[in-house]
Structures are given as C-alpha cells and as structure tokens.
C-alpha cells in the first residue's frame, strides 16, 4: 500500500481558521479543496436553485396540473436505498403538496429486473394511474417508456444515471446528467433529483396562488431532508458542495429528532443515538438495512418503513429489515469467501491480481453480488464484476453482473466501450462511474473476462492500480481530545470528501484478540494512553508502531471516550 500525504493549502487553512474554524478542521478542509469560508456555510439558502435543472419546470407544470385535477400518480421505484428514499420522498412530498391519489410500485430485483420494463408499465396501468414517475431509474428504459406511452400514461423520468446514446420518449426527463442540463452538481443522487422536482412543483403551485388561502399554508419540504441525506450517503455519490449541504441539513434535523418514524425506528435497531448520528452511520448502519430488503426480499418493506405514520408499524418493519440484514450478512460472508478463493486462481506468479476481476459461481445469490463486488474491489483495488445466474422467469440463460470500480476507471463508459468492440457481448448495461450492472449470455463469460481486462489495461495506469492511502498527517497529542473528535464526527464526510485518516508513531502497551478476529490495543500517543481497535487483524504489532487511524468516539452506558480505529501499520 502506497502512502500519500494530503496537500494542505496553508493560505486557505489560515483564512478558514481566521474565520472561526478549528485549526485542525481548517487544515482538513483546505486539503479537500475548500477554498473559501463561504463553502463551509451549509445553509439551505445556498442550494443550487431548482430552476437550473433541465426539465424541472416542465415536470412541475405537469404535476401541478395533475394535482389540481386530482389525477392518479404511480411512482416506479428502484430496489436500493437511493430508490427507496426517493420513492418515500416522492410519496410524502406529493401528498404534502396536495395529491390525494399517489401510490408506488417497486420492481422485484430477481423477477422483474432493473428499471421500467414493459411489464412494469402494464402493472402501473392496471392500477388506473394516469401519470407514471420513475425515481432513480428510467433513463435507459426505452421499451418500458414506449409501452407506458402506448397505454396512455404520461411519463416523468427522474434519474441520475448516465444516459445512453438514445433517450426514452418520456413526456419529461429530469436528470442532471442529460445533454443540455447545466445544473452545477452532476452528482445528485436519485433522491436528490426527486427532492428538486418537489421544490420546483411547490414553486409552480405557489405561482398559481394555491397557498394563498389561510387554510392551506405552504408545506415545508425541509422535513424530507433526512431521507435525502440517507439516500445520498447510501448511494455513495460524490459529496460535492451542494450534496454536502443536503446531507448536512438532513443530519441536523435527524439530530433534533425531526425525522420519519421509520427512520427513527431504524436508528434504534442499529443501537445508535439520533442526537449524535453521523454521515458514516447513515452509510454503514442505516443504509444497509434498507438495501437488504431489495437484495433478499421486497423493497416495499423498506419504503413502507420510511413512509408509515404508525409508530408500532414502523418499529415492526425496522425489526424485519434488521433481521433481513443479518441474513444478508451471512450470505455475503459465504459468497465473499467463495469469491476470494476464485480470485486467488486468477493471480499471476507474483500473486498480483489482473487489471480487472470477473468472478462467477453458480451458487452465488443474485441479490448480493453487488456488495461482494464492492468487497473484492476494496480488497484487491481492481475494477470488479461479480456474476450470478439470473433468476428472472425465462432468463435462465443469462448471467446478471454487478460491478464496482476504482478511481480512474469509469465503469459505465468501460461497458459502453466493450459493447462497441464486441457487439454481441453484453445484452444490457447501465450505471455510472463507480457502480454499474449488466446482463450477458452465460457462454459469453470468458469473452467478457478478456474484454474487461483488456479495457482496464488500456484505461488504467500502473499508478491507478496501486492501492493508495491518503493521510492527513499527524493528529498530535494536543488534538487527541473528545471535543475535537466530536467536531470531526459532526462533519459530513463521504465519497469525494473522505473522513480524515491520521498517522502517528505510538507505543503499543497492550494487545489482545477479541471476537476471534479483531486486535484490541492499548496505545500511547505522547504522554496520552488511548484505546484502539483494528478490525479484521489478528497479527500482533511490534512494541512501537507507526499507525494510520481514524479518531472515533466510543460510547458505553452513556459514557464517551476516545478510541482509535486502526487502518494500517506503516512501521519500517
């Protein structure tokens, strides 16, 4: 692993500190591209206006007409956390804005496949809906949109995935990544796009005088921000400034207890305190429990949990999602071990992994291949696809693949290039830079492996394939304080704005194995004694070690203390 020190801009760090920022945070922000103190103002008034989003004004007019005529609306969701939160935001927001006839339908990952298919369009029509809205999907659903239009439905696509060469013939498309859209943040999650559609709709209704009557006050859409924060973090979109504002505002409301009952129940089953919830908690604790429903069961459970107004029902659904997530972990562990065994057979004589990995086993569960691909990508630092047999009716001859990528390798563009070079290789594909999916014929797997590695070798340099760790320098004994840790924890970190990793030389006072697979440590930093934990590490450390770590807060029976989460050892 290669160690890279983040570059600090001393002038920016000084100006941030002079503006009132803690010296350590000023240093961290300057090394992550923050240039002005104004960028640390994460208030809602600085959000990019919804008028900047192409198609948003048109979608607002169509939906305002529908609400005023009380036409029936059906939302077609996706089966991941971004899709579930986007659906919950749409359901709640449209009801707040006056829709009395809005419902949702979520495809089954295994039986229906991804997106708006012709069969899903028929099911929407059977609900007597007049308008179909996709959330977090639809930009590649050419045949599904055509069927919906043929059936007489009006179609609004809200999505954030990259468009292909052809666009579906929807009435309106709202997607920051479509051609001609000048929205400054191209990294909106699907839930973020839907939130912006609602902002535009509210403005349209306001212009029509809908909220002028004393008995019909203007709804406050900021109550939807906890779900926007959850979906944005869980989908691992890049946390540019606009997304950080959305996530920050959502977290602030969660910490004040202002959130849907289902989200509150999920936080409880995770044994988290909402008043101290962090962006990492959204990504690593809450999000996986929502995602598990789409992987192993029915995402309807996740959506219902997020929109229910019944506290008992919310707690019941949260418990159900927690159990499904435990089942997912068991399946994932078995699949990961199988996948690692397969991957070892692909190593060369120096035990170096190929430039890209393609893993398949007939026993793999289709719902878990994405998360296993993510684990292998992290382990080998290689673009990775994991395949399973398709369980969709009539698709037994197909393999479903889920891929995850590394910086420097745009996965969706790579699939596009492969499909052009080998026209019969990929049946269907879609996604974005860091995550994508595809379907191939089973007898094309060997060719896919060749094409995938060929493309990776062409697009990735040896430096891209070296696993780097970005370090924020020494924390120092003076900053090893609970107050500092709380400031770090309360900051929005995530993809594109990663949480800080420090490195210091320490004395190892005590070490022992806990839980059969984790190294528990008592460390000395300067004159300060502090606990540490290295998850997944069993080998003992030397008496002195140069450790890379994250500064965390350990809470036990209401007591808080500092704890270091060790990431790597750079001794010697």
In this structure, what CATH number is given to the domain that contains residue 366? 3.10.310.30
**Where does the pLDDT of residue 11 fall: very low under 50, low under 70, confident under 90, or very high at 90 and above?**
very high
Does one domain contain both 461 and 500?
no
> Which among 448, 465, 482 is the end of a domain?
465
- Is residue 348 predicted with pLDDT exceeding 90? no
Identify the CA nearest to 274 among candidates 289, 286, 291.
286
Tokens of 397: 């001859």
Last residue within a domain, chosen from 465, 490, 523:
465
Asked whether residue 328 is assigned to any structural domain, the reply reads no
Q: Are residues 230 and 192 in the same domain?
A: yes
CA distance 233 to 316: 24
| CATH code of the domain in which 481 resides | 2.40.50.460
Residues 141 and 244 in one domain: yes
Given a cut of 80, whether residue 392 has pLDDT beyond it is no
Q: Across all residues in the chain, what is the average pLDDT?
A: 95
- Which letter does DSSP use for residue 442 in this model? G
Between CA 481 and CA 107 the distance in angstroms is 48
Structure tokens at 419: 């499909």
Nearest Cα residue to 304 out of 352, 337, 266, 338? 266
Q: Residue 189: which CATH number?
A: 3.90.1640.30
Residues 6+ apart with CB under 8 A from 65: 71
One domain, residues 124 and 256: yes
pLDDT reported for residue 557: 78
The span from the CA of 564 to the CA of 216, in Å, is: 52
Shared domain for 175 and 239, answered yes or no, is yes
The answer on 373 and 316 residing in a single domain is no
Pair 131, 155 in one domain: yes
Q: Give the CA radius of gyration of the chain.
A: 24
Is 336 domain-assigned?
A: no
Q: Please compute the mean of the pLDDT values over residues 332-344 and round it to a whole number.
A: 96
C-beta of residue 249 within 8 angstroms of C-beta of residue 192: no
Give mean pLDDT, residues 336-343.
96
Q: Is residue 150 part of a domain?
A: yes
Instruction: Transcribe 116-173 into DSSP letters.
Output: --HHHHHHHHHTT-SEEEEES--TT-HHHHHHHHHTT-EEEEE--SPP-SS----SEE
Give the H/E segment covering residue 385. Answer: strand 384-389
Number of domains into which the chain is organized: 3
Q: What is the pLDDT of residues 55-85, one digit of tens each?
A: 999 999 999 999 999 999 999 999 999 999 9
Between CA 255 and CA 486 the distance in angstroms is 13
Assess whether 291 and 377 both reside in one domain.
no
pTM of the model: 0.93
- Report if residue 83 sits inside a domain: yes
Coil, strand or helix: which one is 486? helix
Predicted confidence (pLDDT) per residue in 181-201, tens digit = 999 999 999 999 999 999 999
Q: Can you name the residues that pair with 523 across neighbouring β-strands?
A: 508, 530
Is position 340 within any domain?
Answer: no
Torsion sign across C-alpha atoms 149, 173, 370, 83: negative
Do residues 290 and 415 share a domain? no
Structural domain boundaries, residue 421? 346-465
Asked if residue 514 and residue 407 are part of one domain, the reply reads: no
pLDDT tier, 555 (very low <50, low <70, confident <90, very high otherwise): confident
DSSP type of residue 494: B
Judge whether 26 lies within some domain: no
* φ/ψ (deg, to 5) at 240: -70, 180
305 vs 18, 82, 88, 289, 487, CA distance in Å? 45, 14, 9, 11, 31
Query: How far is residue 523's CA from residue 561's CA, in Å, rounded to a whole number?
Result: 14
Q: Kindly report, residue by residue over 467-524, the tens digit of the pLDDT.
A: 889 999 999 999 999 999 999 999 999 999 999 999 999 999 999 999 988 999 999 9
Contact 139, 173 (CB under 8 A): yes
Residue 160 lies in a domain: yes
Three-state DSSP state, 460: coil
Q: Which helix (H) or strand (E) holds 75?
A: strand 73-76
How do residues 128-185 score in pLDDT, each as one tens digit?
Answer: 999 999 999 999 999 999 999 999 999 999 999 989 889 999 999 999 999 999 999 9
Q: Is residue 231 part of a domain?
A: yes
Question: What count of other Cβ atoms lies within 10 Å of the Cβ of residue 257?
Answer: 9
What is the percent of the chain with per-residue pLDDT over 70, rounded to a whole number? 100
Q: Judge if 296 and 163 occupy the same domain.
A: yes
Which two tokens mark 413? Answer: 């563009």
479 shares a domain with 422: no
Among residues 424, 442, 465, the one where a domain terminates is 465
């Amino acid at each position: 692993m290669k160690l890279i020190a983040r570059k600090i801009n001393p002038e920016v760090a000084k100006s941030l500190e002079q503006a009132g920022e803690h010296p350590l945070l000023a240093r961290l922000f300057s090394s992550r591209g923050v240039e002005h103190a104004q960028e640390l103002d994460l208030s809602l008034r600085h959000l990019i206006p919804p008028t900047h989003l192409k198609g948003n004004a048109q979608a607002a007019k169509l939906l305002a007409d529908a609400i005023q005529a009380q036409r029936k609306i059906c939302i077609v969701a996706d089966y991941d956390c971004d899709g579930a939160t986007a659906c919950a935001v749409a359901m709640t927001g449209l009801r707040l804005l006056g829709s009395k006839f809005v419902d949702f339908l979520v495809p089954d990952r295994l039986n229906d496949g991804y997106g708006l298919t012709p069969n899903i369009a028929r099911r929407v029509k059977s609900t007597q809906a007049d308008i179909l809205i996709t959330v977090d999907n639809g930009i590649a659903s050419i045949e599904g949109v055509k069927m919906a239009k043929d059936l007489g439905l009006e179609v609004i696509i809200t999505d954030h995935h990259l468009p292909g060469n052809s666009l579906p013939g929807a009435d309106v498309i709202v997607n920051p990544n479509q051609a001609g859209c000048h929205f400054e943040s191209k990294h909106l999650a699907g839930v973020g796009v839907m939130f912006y559609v609602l902002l535009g709709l509210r403005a349209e209704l306001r212009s029509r005088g809908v909220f002028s009557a004393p008995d019909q006050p203007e709804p406050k859409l900021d109550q939807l921000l906890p779900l926007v924060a959850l979906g944005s973090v869980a989908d691992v979109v890049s946390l540019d400034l606009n997304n950080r504002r959305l996530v920050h505002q959502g977290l602030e409301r969660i910490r004040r207890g202002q959130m849907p009952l289902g989200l509150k129940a999920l936080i409880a089953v995770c044994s988290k305190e909402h008043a101290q919830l962090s962006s990492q908690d959204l990504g690593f604790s809450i999000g996986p429990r929502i995602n598990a429903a789409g992987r192993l069961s029915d995402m309807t459970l996740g959506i219902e949990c997020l929109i229910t107004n019944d506290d008992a029902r919310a707690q019941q659904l949260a418990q159900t999602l927690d159990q499904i997530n435990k089942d997912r972990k068991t399946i994932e562990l078995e699949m990961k071990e199988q996948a690692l065994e397969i991957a070892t057979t692909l190593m060369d004589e120096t035990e170096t992994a190929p430039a890209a990995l393609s893993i398949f086993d007939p026993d793999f569960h289709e719902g878990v291949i994405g998360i296993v691909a993510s684990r292998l990508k992290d382990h080998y630092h290689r673009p990775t696809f994991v395949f399973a047999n398709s369980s969709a009716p009539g698709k037994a001859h197909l393999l479903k693949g889920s891929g995850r990528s590394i910086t420097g390798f745009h996965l969706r563009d790579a699939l596009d290039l492969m499909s052009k070079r080998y026209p019969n290789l990929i049946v269907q594909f879609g996604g974005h830079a860091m995550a994508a999916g595809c379907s191939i014929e089973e007898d094309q797997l060997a060719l896919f492996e060749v094409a995938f590695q060929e493309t990776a070798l062409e697009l990735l340099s040896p430096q891209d394939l070296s696993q780097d760790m970005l370090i924020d320098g020494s924390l120092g004994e003076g900053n090893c304080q609970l107050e500092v840790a709380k400031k770090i924890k309360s900051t929005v970190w995530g993809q594109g704005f990663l949480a800080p990793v420090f490195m210091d030389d320490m004395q190892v006072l005590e070490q022992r194995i806990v839980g059969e697979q984790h190294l528990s440590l008592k460390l000395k930093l300067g004159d300060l004694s502090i606990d540490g934990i290295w998850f997944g590490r069993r080998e003992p450390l030397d008496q002195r070690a140069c450790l890379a770590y994250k500064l965390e807060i350990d809470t036990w029976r209401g007591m808080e203390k500092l704890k270091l989460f060790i990431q790597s050892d750079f001794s010697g």
